Amino acid sequence: MTSTLPSLSGLSDAEVAERVARGEVNDVPVRSSRSTQEIVRTNVFTRFNAIIGTLFVVIMTVGPIQDGLFGFIIVANTGIGIIQELRAKKTLDNLAVIGEAKPRVRRGGRTLELSNSEIVLGDLVELGSGDKITVDGAVAEAEGLEIDESLLTGEADPVIKHLGDPVLSGSFVVAGSGAFTTTKVGREAYAAQLAEEASRFTLVHSELRSGINTILRFITYLLIPTAIGLVISQLYVSRSNFPEAIRRMVAGIVPMVPEGLVLLTSVAFAIGVVRLGRRQCLVQELPAIEGLARVDTVCLDKTGTLTEGGMDVEKVQPLDGAPLDRAEHALGALGTADARPNASLQAIIDAYPSPDGWRVQQAAAFSSARKWSGAELKDAQGEVATWLLGAPDVLLPVGHPALVDADALGSQGLRVLLLARTPTPLDAPDPAAGLAPQALVVLRQRVRPDAAETLRYFERQNVAAKVISGDNALSVGAVAGSLGLPGAQNPMDARQLPKPVAVAVAATAPAATAITATTTATATTTASATTATTADPEPEPDAAATDANAAQFAELADAVEAHSVFGRVTPQQKRDMVAALQSRGHHVAMTGDGVNDVLALKDADIGVAMGSGSEATRAVAQIVLLDNRFSTLPLVVAEGRRVIGNIERVANLFLVKTVYAVFLALATIICRVPYPFLPRHSTVLSALTIGIPAFFLALAPNNERARPGFVRRVLRFAVPAGVIAGTAAFTAYMLARANHATGEVADTSTATLTLFIVALWVLAIIARPFALWKLLLVVLMALGFLLVMVVPWAQHFFQLHLVGLRDPLTGVGIAVAAGVLLEIVWRWINHGLPQPRRFSRQG
């Protein structure tokens, strides 16, 4: 859909109504979670539900209802999964509404804040620094408008936009202001794809989920041949009693399916989302919870993270005899030059009202890349000059006397700006030429009261904190030092860092977030179709240049690892520093709130944005702290560790069961004996040693940092433990069978007792370190099994009855011996694998 440019007053109400009637609205749904239908479908129609459901139907045709209990448990599990995910969906949807950006749209000469879905074709959308562009359009107004299109094209330098230039959804404003007319809305706009990927409740790029899927795929391959072997062997031993053979086959297959593992993984993630939601923390991508558990380095932007957004003018210190009143009038006039002032300029506006007789003739908004803003001002006497306000160490040459005062003030944690005057026009190639310093503007920053304790938390957890700021290094170091950050006494000016070519480091960084991965290909096509010119391909760098660049990148990584505080960092340098840390194997979280943080947020393993930050930062971040509380971050990290650490624990339980089930099936086939258990016995064992305990363990506190190698670690314990458990149960079963006087029920009961004790021992190992509630959990499971074995109706229902003392005592002895072997295996694994430091004994 294409429209003509409207008047600069925007569309009238009648024109809007016409477009709505024609369907020319931006009706793309922005979803923070899956739909209810998707949640139900993905929980019901699973591979293992199909397997278990089929076995349930089969067992209901050949056996009593006791042998079909596993089917009802699957129904309950599926219901729990659906309920928990629906709770997570409700939480995410509510938070998404709170955090939704509302573009300012001009209609009938009035500026309105509307949701994205209310924008229509031909609307005039106003732009300011930090705004995200959510629909395609053409520039209708531009005052120093600079737009960053790096999320679409990969080009780091902002693009200066003029009247008529195209703007694409997915880009964002880094400087200046303006307005654009929407030319594509709804499904035709590129925002249709961007919004979908920026906030989808997804499980992509999850090592945990990939590892579980690998294990489940292997188990699926085992099921069919094992089932065929069991049917044939049970037909042989039961003398062609088909119903009995089917019951025994089902009893052997059902324990092989770790049906609760997928459920508890989903439930743990969902509950994590709900818990974080209660802390006003919006999880825009589900893998962020997993990523949080792996974070070992947090990069912090000072402004808006360690300090609050607002500032106060401490004083204005004239330089070189410049009159104070003239400097104050110039500051007041500069405050009127920017319709969207940043925190520093807002403090100046609050302190100095607009002076009478001063007029702004031309303005340049603040840019994080150049570190200054300015305006051509005509004073009350009619004299015209260019006034600049920015970083003293950027505007002044090295060695200038004013820098001594600026550094002294900055070392006290104050923000210092230089006000300077020059006859050079603002649109000249170098507006700072002929600069005459007029005054130092000293601003006091408001440090967040919770920042010091948050930094101490990260130190206790062995998570390195790096403060990366565009401010003066001494000022940043002073603020960080006042909060007790280790290494703050040695801040580094980022202008002294090596500057490798960005393309060379791209390969070292992990895959970008879902928003980037999806947008790049389509946006490149869109951009090439929209713009009038295309750039020539860059020549391939030669080997020497590549080696030199790699050396520079290594130097950068060394410097970033060695220091904790960095000042005068450009947006591109923030991105390079994140990539440098990642190249050294660090898992990096980046926090920020301004447009200068967007590139680093996008490339970090985990991007965390403040709710009060710019639209662009909230769009690329995986996690948004809607209440702007820095103290929420430790809770977010702790939640990630709890989820991932506990899923690994319960995965051990489920896979031990799978391994011993496979072992018992193979032993039964080889020895040509009846399978030791009926489905009802498997149900009791699974519920008391795995299902119920795993549910509680999955929700327990856990502060261990997640490590790579999930599948290897789980299998290293599950395989030997499962073999030990299967061997113990089958040995007790075969010895009981040798005592022909006891009967088949007693033989099965002995094997069930043995397997329960070994499985309970596994549970006790997995639950370590112990807490009171964990000990109670193990004891209650033991009491539950005792009731099954001694209560008459339970004995009859589950067909369990011990006879005599020899077989039961033999089974207990075998189980104890197996427990000793389990302890040896556990200690060997702990000794052979590097262990994470335990930060808490809460369990």
Q: Which residues are catalytic?
A: 301
CA distances from 133 to 148, 167, 669 (A): 10, 8, 65
Helix ranges, 281-400 (H)? 287-294, 324-335, 343-351, 392-395
Give the integer Cα–Cα distance in Å for 567 and 371.
12
The pair of three-digit structure tokens given for residue 246, joined into one six-digit string: 């089917």
Host H or E run for residue 124 = strand 124-127
Give the integer Cα–Cα distance in Å for 24 and 122.
9
Which SS3 state, helix, strand or coil, does residue 74 take? helix
Host H or E run for residue 245 = helix 242-253
The pair of three-digit structure tokens given for residue 52, joined into one six-digit string: 């278990």
The pair of three-digit structure tokens given for residue 314, joined into one six-digit string: 């401490």
Label residue 50 exposed, middle or buried (CB < 10 Å: 0-12, 13-18, 19+): exposed
Alpha-carbon Rg for the chain, nearest whole angstrom, is 33
Do 631 and 453 meet the contact criterion of CB atoms below 8 Å apart?
A: yes
Give the integer Cα–Cα distance in Å for 136 and 31.
20
Which SS3 state, helix, strand or coil, does residue 471 take? coil
Host H or E run for residue 609 = strand 606-610
Label residue 54 exposed, middle or buried (CB < 10 Å: 0-12, 13-18, 19+): exposed
Give the integer Cα–Cα distance in Å for 640 and 608.
14
Closest CA to 405 of 322, 312, 318, 494: 318
The pair of three-digit structure tokens given for residue 65, joined into one six-digit string: 């209802």
Whether the ω angle into residue 29 lies within 30 degrees of 0, i.e. cis, is no
HEC secondary structure over 617-640: HHHHCCEEECCCCCCHHHHHHHHH
The pair of three-digit structure tokens given for residue 531, joined into one six-digit string: 């713009």
Sequence-ordered list of residues with C-beta below 8 angstroms from that of 668, at least 6 positions apart, any chain: 230, 233, 252, 674, 675, 676, 730
Do 543 and 567 meet the contact criterion of CB atoms below 8 Å apart?
A: no
Host H or E run for residue 457 = helix 451-460
Which SS3 state, helix, strand or coil, does residue 444 take? strand
Closest CA to 484 of 513, 450, 435: 450
362 strand-pairing partners: 376
String of b and e for 94-124 (b: at least 16 CB within 10 Å)?
Answer: ebbeebebebebbbeeeeeebebebbbbbbb
Do 443 and 374 meet the contact criterion of CB atoms below 8 Å apart?
A: no
